[in-house]
Structure 1
């Protein structure tokens, strides 16, 4: 089953242990980064423009942009250019996809997820 993870081309290649399902591997790779976790946390409160997100996380755009790309390619976030100077990008959390990833990761780790 391929869940449409995209290429994740800019992300360092991670080692996939023998027997680990591709979808589980991608889910754990997406979630296994502190910057991406912080982005998901911030977007949990609602959509945020890119410059505001960088300010909230106190991270330069060069650090933030590749992580946003990974999340966008994994369909965890939606990105939409806004009108105005510099065409800022509005980032929105895709909670349905995040739940899918959480379920995959939780099942692989043997965790009982609340509500399941």
Structure 2
């Protein structure tokens, strides 16, 4: 949220942003297993229940036939959703925080507000 709020503020106050659209992104898309690895590295024992293994893509596609949750994700399986914030960087001088910091800070907030499953 900090990055998005910062970008919104810059876009509202900088004349160069008039009529423009900007993406608030920190780079390449992350797979769930990459997020899990960040959580383990940053949170240690507090992330011990976060799984770090991933099922093979072919198995996920097969399981999506019978699993409603996987079925909803089927169009996204194996795809990257990369975007760029180059325009915001160029016109507004905006820089996203490192994705590892964002993931860890989000997890810390969820833990602090008791919004996770288990302890």
TM-score clears 0.5: no
Q: Which has the larger radius of gyration?
A: 2
TM, length-normalised to structure 2 = 0.28
TM-score with structure 1 setting the length: 0.29
Larger RCO (CA under 8 A, 6+ residues apart) = 2
